[in-house]
Chains A and B, each alone.
Chain A
Amino acid sequence: MITLPAMTFREWNGPLTADLVREPARFGLGQLPSLSVPTATTKAVCGFCSTGCGLMIHLKDGEAINLTPDADYPVNLGTACPKGWEALSVLDAPDRARMPLLHGKEVDWDTALRYFCDQMRRILDQHGPEAAAFLSTGQIMFEEMAFLGALAKFGMGMIHGDGNTRQCMATAVAAYKESFGFDAPPFTYADFEESDVLVFIGGNPCIAHPIMWQRVLKNQRQPEIIVVDPRTTETAMAATQHYAIKPKSDLTLLYGLAHLLIRDGGVDRTFVDAHTNGFEAFESFVADFTPERVCAETGLSSEELVRFADTILRRTNFQVRSGENELGSSFYDKPRVSFWWTMGVNQGHQATRTAQAIINLALMTGNIGKPGTGANSITGQCNAMGSRLFSNTTNLLGGHDFRNAAHREKIAAATGMPVERIPDRPSLAYDQIIQAADEGTVKAIWFVATNPSHSWIDQNEMNRILDKLDFLVVQDMYRSTETAKRAHLVLPAAGWGEKEGCFINSERRIGYSPKVRRAPGQALADFHIFRLIAHYWGCGEMFREWQTPEDVFRVLQRCSEGQSCEITGIEGYAQLMRSGGVQWPAKMTNDEWRMTNERRLFEDGKFFTEDQRAKFCFDEPVAPPEQRSAEFPLILMTGRGTSAQWHTETRTGKSAVLRKMAPEQLMLDLNPEDAAKLGVRDGQQVRVVSKRAELTALTRLTSCVKPGEVYLPMHDGRVNQLTHASFDPLSRQPSYKHSAVRVEIII
Chain B
Amino acid sequence: MTLVLSDLSDLSDSSDLLRKVLKEQQTLRTPVALFSEEYDTRSIRDRFTHLIPLSKPNPGEQYAFQVNLDACTGCKACVAACHSLNGLDDDEAWRDVGLITGLRKQQPYHQTVTTACHHCEDPACSNGCPVLAYDKDAITGIVRHLDDQCIGCSYCILKCPYDVPKFNLKRGIVRKCDMCQGRLAEGEAPACVQACPNEAIKIQVVKLSDVPDRGQIIAGAFDSSYTRPTTTYVSTKPIAVAKPADAGLLRLDHAHPPLTWMLVLTQMSAGTFFVTALAVLMGFVSLEATRLTSLTALIVGIAGIALSVLHLGQPLKAWRAFLGWRKSWLSREIIAFGLFAKLGALAVVFPSKLTLGLAGIAGVLAVYTSVMVYVDTRRPFWSMKLVSGKFFGTMVLLGVAIPGVVWAWMGHSAAQIAIPTALVLRWCVSLFEMREIRNARRDASSAWHMNARVLTEKLPHLLRARKIMLAMVGIILPTVIFTQFYVAAIFTLSVAITLGSQLIERHYFFTAACGPKMPGN
Considering the complex, give the chain B residue whose CB is closest to the CB of A35. B87
Residues in A with CB closer than 8 Å to B28 are 62-63, 515-518
Are A56 and B521 in contact (CB-based, < 8 A)?
Answer: no
- What is the bound-complex CA distance between A523 and B97, given in angstroms? 36
Residues in B with CB closer than 8 Å to A499 are 25
In the complex, A524 has a CB within 8 A of chain B? yes
In the complex, A599 has a CB within 8 A of chain B? no
- What is the bound-complex CA distance between A539 and B180, given in angstroms? 58
In the complex, B76 has a CB within 8 A of chain A? yes
In the complex, A531 has a CB within 8 A of chain B? yes
CB of B141 to closest CB in A, whole Å: 18
25 sample A-B contacts, Cβ–Cβ < 8 Å, listed by A number: A10-B149, A11-B149, A11-B317, A14-B148, A16-B171, A24-B186, A29-B44, A30-B44, A31-B183, A32-B85, A40-B36, A62-B29, A63-B28, A67-B84, A81-B77, A110-B14, A206-B73, A217-B197, A233-B110, A234-B74, A517-B28, A536-B8, A643-B76, A661-B79, A703-B104
- What is the bound-complex CA distance between A71 and B247, given in angstroms? 38
In the complex, B31 has a CB within 8 A of chain A? yes
**Which residues does A use to contact B, with CB under 8 Å?**
1-6, 9-17, 19-22, 24, 26-33, 35-36, 40-43, 56-57, 59, 62-64, 66-69, 71, 76, 78-82, 85-86, 102-103, 109-111, 113-115, 117-118, 121, 206-207, 210-211, 213-214, 217, 232-238, 244, 494, 498-499, 514-519, 522-525, 528, 531-532, 535-536, 538, 573-574, 577-578, 642-644, 656-663, 667, 672-673, 681-684, 698-704
CB of A83 to closest CB in B, whole Å: 8
CB of B45 to closest CB in A, whole Å: 7
In the complex, B471 has a CB within 8 A of chain A? no
Considering the complex, give the chain B residue whose CB is closest to the CB of A67. B84
In the complex, B272 has a CB within 8 A of chain A? no
Interface of B, helix, strand, loop or mixed by DSSP: loop
Are A33 and B315 in contact (CB-based, < 8 A)?
Answer: no
Are B316 and A5 in contact (CB-based, < 8 A)?
Answer: yes
Considering the complex, give the chain A residue whose CB is closest to the CB of B200. A217
CB of A585 to closest CB in B, whole Å: 26
Total A-B Cβ pairs within 8 A = 332
Are A683 and B30 in contact (CB-based, < 8 A)?
Answer: no
- What is the bound-complex CA distance between A22 and B28, given in angstroms? 28
- What is the bound-complex CA distance between A419 and B116, given in angstroms? 62
Chain B positions 434 through 449: 1 when the CB is less than 8 Å from some CB of chain A, otherwise 0: 0000000000000000
CB of B29 to closest CB in A, whole Å: 7
| Residue in contact with B197 in the complex, picked from A19, A42, A79, A237, CB distance below 8 Å | A79
Are B148 and A3 in contact (CB-based, < 8 A)?
Answer: yes
CB of B453 to closest CB in A, whole Å: 9
In the complex, B47 has a CB within 8 A of chain A? yes
Residues in A with CB closer than 8 Å to B319 are 5
Are A85 and B80 in contact (CB-based, < 8 A)?
Answer: yes
In the complex, B103 has a CB within 8 A of chain A? yes
Considering the complex, give the chain B residue whose CB is closest to the CB of A102. B3
Are B148 and A16 in contact (CB-based, < 8 A)?
Answer: yes
Are B43 and A515 in contact (CB-based, < 8 A)?
Answer: no
Residue of B1, B6, B40 with highest tally of chain A CB at under 10 A: B6
In the complex, B225 has a CB within 8 A of chain A? no
Chain B positions 70 through 108: 1 when the CB is less than 8 Å from some CB of chain A, otherwise 0: 110111110111011111101111001100011111011
Residue of A10, A111, A522, A525 with highest tally of chain B CB at under 10 A: A10
Across the A-B interface, give the 6 residue pairs with the lowest CB-CB distance, nearest first.
Answer: A683-B248, A682-B248, A33-B87, A14-B148, A210-B75, A656-B91
**Which residues does B use to contact A, with CB under 8 Å?**
1, 3-6, 8, 10-11, 14-15, 17-18, 21-22, 24-26, 28-34, 36, 39-45, 47, 70-71, 73-77, 79-81, 83-88, 90-93, 96-97, 101-105, 107-112, 132, 146-150, 170-173, 175, 180, 182-183, 186, 188, 194-198, 237, 243, 245-250, 313-317, 319-320, 323, 520-521
- What is the bound-complex CA distance between A9 and B41, given in angstroms? 43
- What is the bound-complex CA distance between A210 and B314, given in angstroms? 42
Are A525 and B85 in contact (CB-based, < 8 A)?
Answer: no
Residue of B75, B91, B150, B183 with highest tally of chain A CB at under 10 A: B75
Are A82 and B76 in contact (CB-based, < 8 A)?
Answer: yes
- What is the bound-complex CA distance between A702 and B47, given in angstroms? 38
Considering the complex, give the chain A residue whose CB is closest to the CB of B18. A109
Residues in A with CB closer than 8 Å to B171 are 1, 16, 19
| Residue in contact with B90 in the complex, picked from A35, A41, A217, A657, CB distance below 8 Å | A657
Are A660 and B96 in contact (CB-based, < 8 A)?
Answer: yes
Are B84 and A684 in contact (CB-based, < 8 A)?
Answer: no
Starting from the known contacts A17-B146, A657-B83, 10 additional A-B residue pairs (CB-CB under 8 Å) come to A2-B172, A3-B148, A30-B43, A32-B85, A80-B195, A82-B79, A113-B14, A518-B26, A525-B25, A535-B11
CB of A644 to closest CB in B, whole Å: 6
Are A207 and B74 in contact (CB-based, < 8 A)?
Answer: yes
Are A642 and B109 in contact (CB-based, < 8 A)?
Answer: no
Known: A682-B248, A698-B249. A115 touches B70 (CB 8 A): no
Are B248 and A684 in contact (CB-based, < 8 A)?
Answer: yes
Residues in A with CB closer than 8 Å to B85 are 32-33, 68
Known: A206-B73, A703-B109. A514 touches B81 (CB 8 A): no
| Residue in contact with A703 in the complex, picked from B75, B107, B245, CB distance below 8 Å | B107
- What is the bound-complex CA distance between A538 and B14, given in angstroms? 11
Considering the complex, give the chain B residue whose CB is closest to the CB of A578. B34
Known: A10-B146, A82-B79, A234-B74. A528 touches B24 (CB 8 A): yes
Considering the complex, give the chain B residue whose CB is closest to the CB of A118. B6
Residues in A with CB closer than 8 Å to B150 are 16
Are A81 and B33 in contact (CB-based, < 8 A)?
Answer: no
Are B30 and A643 in contact (CB-based, < 8 A)?
Answer: no
Residues in A with CB closer than 8 Å to B17 are 531-532, 535
- What is the bound-complex CA distance between A276 and B87, given in angstroms? 56
- What is the bound-complex CA distance between A525 and B148, given in angstroms? 45
- What is the bound-complex CA distance between A11 and B133, given in angstroms? 8
Considering the complex, give the chain A residue whose CB is closest to the CB of B24. A528
CB of A271 to closest CB in B, whole Å: 34
Are A535 and B14 in contact (CB-based, < 8 A)?
Answer: yes
Are B148 and A522 in contact (CB-based, < 8 A)?
Answer: no
Known: A2-B314, A15-B148. A41 touches B36 (CB 8 A): yes
Considering the complex, give the chain B residue whose CB is closest to the CB of A573. B31
- What is the bound-complex CA distance between A360 and B357, given in angstroms? 92
- What is the bound-complex CA distance between A538 and B10, given in angstroms? 9
Residues in A with CB closer than 8 Å to B84 are 66-68, 85-86
Residues in B with CB closer than 8 Å to A214 are 197-198
Residues in A with CB closer than 8 Å to B76 are 81-82, 642-644, 661
- What is the bound-complex CA distance between A351 and B494, given in angstroms? 72
| Residue in contact with A642 in the complex, picked from B42, B74, B103, B186, CB distance below 8 Å | B74
Considering the complex, give the chain B residue whose CB is closest to the CB of A16. B147
Are B87 and A532 in contact (CB-based, < 8 A)?
Answer: no
CB of A41 to closest CB in B, whole Å: 5
Considering the complex, give the chain A residue whose CB is closest to the CB of B450. A683
Residues in A with CB closer than 8 Å to B245 are 667, 700, 702
